[in-house]
């Protein structure tokens, strides 16, 4: 048992001693690709999504230096037909790249340090095998001598790209090292499988991946591994059932990542922290400050500010994720920034509509915190004004509401010119960003005689009234309220049972003025 070769099952043992969510079904997938053309697997996930747990689980299962049978009893993989065939049958090389970056005197030494350290252990474990000039040749000689292939597992494979994000020479040296292992005439002779995991997908050079033989499973395209991205809704329900937390509260705070079409995924660390503490909170902040987010949303890419404000208001933004070069420095457009934020976990991706959105309350808090202290002063002002706008609506201060919406329109984060009620709705969504904290927003809610434009339902923990908003372009404010009543829009929320405020908001294209009328629904 070594530091890099056959490290044993201590990591998975510690996981099994605590509250454990069974993700061993992923082993069945890996067993299915062993020794095939699909044996090179790259799984990219944000921090806090269990990447290292999966790597340690695979080590425990494949490593021939230990007996892990008892650790897998009662798990999904134990009932799989492939379980016995591959359990503890392989020499496994495990590399945590962050360990090497932390211990190196210089980031420039990391690649050579990895080569030297692993080659030394291989030579000590198999002294009769011919030595090579580098790790790739040493592994080829060893595999030939012992008549066995290896499994290599690399955790945080992209750490060098993050630590040396501006040092192209170091990055090129690292890619050359990886290509010598995984894209050479020796690769099939040396490896039965390679599993690498990190935050970023494999770096592109132009339009091509640096290691084209890897099958990549990312936050953008996780299929068929979508249920292993994080905790599924069913798993979170089970965790909540054994705690003092209500599942609906956990869902409101941590749900929002929908992968593979319809699989809802939760960040494991956030959910586990909430369950262990018995309290909903922003545990993302506890492990990563808003500064990491602030760097990217402060970039001056065209349309980035508008996109972020639109998402803060509950909207979605269409993107082309294909231009992203899978690094943190080759940022050439707004879509590159938004795609990077998907991989970092700050945005969720809808593959069907090819759009991004802020997934949940926890992440939304991170955006608001970063924007308030970022360089987009007008956005920070919009957020602060939104708090006051909600107060003005609740106070039924019609002039103050109209003035606040006017200010939001001038902020430059919405259409400069209105041409219909849809454009007006865009401004209202932005102006009422703070409502996302206390309300569930529904647009075009069906009623008996049409659709209510925007309805804000108070969340279960809120004592605020329901807001039923009607928008009119080139109409009177009385006309907006009259339509609410004449078309009986309150009927659509008749089962609400609490206080309801009717809010009519209009815009006059000639005078360029907004007006507002607020009435209680009695």
- The yes-or-no verdict on residue 346 having pLDDT over 50 is yes
291-307 confidence digits (pLDDT tens): 667 777 777 677 787 78
The mean per-residue pLDDT over the stretch 445-452 comes to: 57
| Residue 487, pLDDT score | 64
- The yes-or-no verdict on residue 88 having pLDDT over 60 is yes
- The yes-or-no verdict on residue 100 having pLDDT over 70 is yes
- The yes-or-no verdict on residue 348 having pLDDT over 70 is yes
- The yes-or-no verdict on residue 418 having pLDDT over 60 is no
Position of tokens 């062993």?
34
Lowest mean pLDDT among 3-7, 364-368, 408-412, 452-456: 408-412
| Residue 476, pLDDT score | 65
Measured distance CA(442)–CA(444) in Å, rounded: 7
| Residue 152, pLDDT score | 98
204: β partners? 209
| Residue 210, pLDDT score | 65
Question: How confident is residue 413, by pLDDT bands cut at 50, 70 and 90?
Answer: very low
The mean per-residue pLDDT over the stretch 365-375 comes to: 74
Look over the chain and give the mean of its residue pLDDT values, rounded to a whole number.
Answer: 85
- The yes-or-no verdict on residue 97 having pLDDT over 90 is yes
Higher-confidence position of 172 and 30: 30
241-294 confidence digits (pLDDT tens): 988 899 988 988 899 899 877 889 999 999 999 998 998 888 776 545 556 677
* Cα–Cα separations (whole angstroms), residue 51 to 48, 91, 286, 443: 8, 21, 18, 37
Instruction: Identify the burial level of 506 via C-beta atoms within 10 angstroms of its C-beta, where 0-12 means exposed, 13-18 middle and 19 or more buried.
Output: buried
Tokens matching residue 421: 């009620």
| Residue 121, pLDDT score | 96
| Residue 477, pLDDT score | 60
- The yes-or-no verdict on residue 91 having pLDDT over 90 is yes
Are the C-beta atoms of 12 and 26 separated by less than 8 Å? Answer: no
The pairing of beta strand 500-508 with beta strand 513-520: antiparallel
Question: How confident is residue 39, by pLDDT bands cut at 50, 70 and 90?
Answer: very high
CB neighbour list of residue 6: distance below 8 Å, 6 or more residues apart: 63, 64, 65, 66, 91, 92, 125
| Residue 43, pLDDT score | 95
The pairing of beta strand 257-259 with beta strand 263-266: antiparallel
SS (H, E, C) 468-479: EEEEEECCCHHH
Measured distance CA(192)–CA(390) in Å, rounded: 60
Higher-confidence position of 306 and 31: 31
- The yes-or-no verdict on residue 197 having pLDDT over 60 is yes
- The yes-or-no verdict on residue 412 having pLDDT over 60 is no
Helices (H) and strands (E) in the chain, counts: 23, 18
| Residue 494, pLDDT score | 65
Provide, rounded to the nearest whole percent, the portion of the chain with pLDDT above 70: 85
The mean per-residue pLDDT over the stretch 13-32 comes to: 94
Coil, strand, or helix at residue 336?
Answer: helix
Q: Which segment, 58-62, 218-222, 425-429, 451-455, is predicted with the most confidence on average?
A: 58-62
323-343 confidence digits (pLDDT tens): 777 777 777 788 888 988 999
Write down all domains in the chain, each with its CATH number in brackets: 10-217 (3.40.50), 228-281 (no CATH), 287-372 (1.10.10), 377-520 (3.40.1350)
Helix (H) / strand (E) element for 155: namely strand 150-155
Higher-confidence position of 29 and 206: 29
Higher-confidence position of 482 and 131: 131
- The yes-or-no verdict on residue 170 having pLDDT over 80 is yes
- The yes-or-no verdict on residue 193 having pLDDT over 80 is yes
| Residue 38, pLDDT score | 95
| Residue 59, pLDDT score | 97
Position of tokens 């030579």?
123
Q: Which segment, 34-43, 318-327, 350-359, is predicted with the most confidence on average?
A: 34-43
Higher-confidence position of 242 and 139: 139
Measured distance CA(471)–CA(473) in Å, rounded: 7
- The yes-or-no verdict on residue 206 having pLDDT over 70 is no
């Amino acid at each position: 048992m070594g530091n890099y070769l056959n490290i044993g099952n201590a990591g998975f043992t510690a996981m099994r001693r605590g509250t454990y969510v069974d993700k061993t079904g992923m082993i069945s997938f890996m067993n299915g690709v062993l020794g095939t053309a699909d044996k090179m697997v790259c799984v990219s996930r944000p921090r806090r999504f269990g990447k290292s747990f999966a790597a340690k689980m695979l080590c425990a299962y494949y490593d021939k230096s230990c007996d892990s049978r008892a650790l897998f009893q009662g798990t999904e993989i134990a009932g799989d037909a492939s379980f016995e065939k591959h359990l503890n049958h392989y020499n496994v090389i495990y590399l945590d790249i962050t360990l090497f970056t932390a211990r190196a005197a210089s980031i420039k030494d990391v690649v050579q340090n990895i080569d030297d350290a692993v080659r030394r252990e291989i030579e000590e474990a198999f002294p009769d095998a011919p030595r090579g000039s580098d790790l790739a040749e040493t592994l080829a000689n060893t595999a030939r001598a012992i008549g066995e292939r290896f499994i290599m597992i690399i955790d945080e494979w992209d750490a060098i790209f993050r630590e040396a994000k501006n040092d192209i020479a170091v990055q090129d040296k690292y890619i050359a090292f990886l290509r010598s292992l995984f894209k050479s005439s020796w690769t099939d002779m040396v490896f039965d499988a390679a599993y690498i995991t990190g935050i970023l997908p494999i770096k592109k050079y132009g339009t091509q991946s640096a290691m084209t033989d890897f099958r990549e499973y990312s936050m953008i395209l996780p299929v068929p591994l979508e249920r292993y991205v994080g905790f599924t809704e069913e798993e979170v329900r089970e965790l909540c059932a054994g705690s003092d937390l209500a599942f609906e509260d956990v869902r409101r705070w941590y749900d929002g990542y929908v992968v593979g079409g319809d699989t809802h995924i939760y960040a494991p660390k956030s959910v586990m922290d909430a369950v262990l503490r018995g309290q909903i909170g922003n545990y993302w902040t506890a492990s990563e400050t808003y500064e990491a987010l602030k760097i990217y949303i402060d970039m001056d890419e065209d349309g980035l500010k508008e996109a972020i404000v639109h998402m803060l208001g509950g909207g979605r933004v269409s993107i082309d994720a294909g231009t992203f070069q899978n690094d943190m420095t080759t940022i050439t457009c707004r879509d590159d920034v938004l795609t990077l934020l998907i991989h970092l976990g700050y945005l969720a991706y809808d593959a069907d509509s090819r759009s991004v959105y802020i997934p949940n309350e926890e992440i939304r808090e991170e955006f608001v915190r970063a924007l308030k202290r970022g360089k987009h002063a007008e956005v920070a002002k919009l957020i602060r004004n939104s708090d006051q706008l909600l107060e003005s609506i609740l106070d039924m201060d019609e002039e103050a509401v109209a003035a606040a919406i006017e200010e939001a329109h001038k902020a430059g984060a919405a259409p400069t010119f209105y041409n219909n009620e849809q454009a007006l709705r865009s401004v209202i969504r932005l102006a009422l960003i703070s409502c996302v904290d206390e309300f569930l927003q529904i647009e075009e809610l069906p009623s008996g005689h049409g659709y209510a434009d925007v309805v804000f339902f108070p969340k279960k923990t809120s004592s605020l009234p329901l807001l039923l908003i009607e928008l009119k372009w080139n109409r009177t404010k009385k006309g907006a309220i009259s339509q609410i009543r004449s078309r009986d829009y309150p009927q659509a929320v008749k089962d609400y049972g609490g206080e309801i405020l009717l809010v009519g908001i209009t815009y006059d294209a000639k005078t360029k003025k907004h007006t507002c009328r607020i009435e209680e629904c009695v």
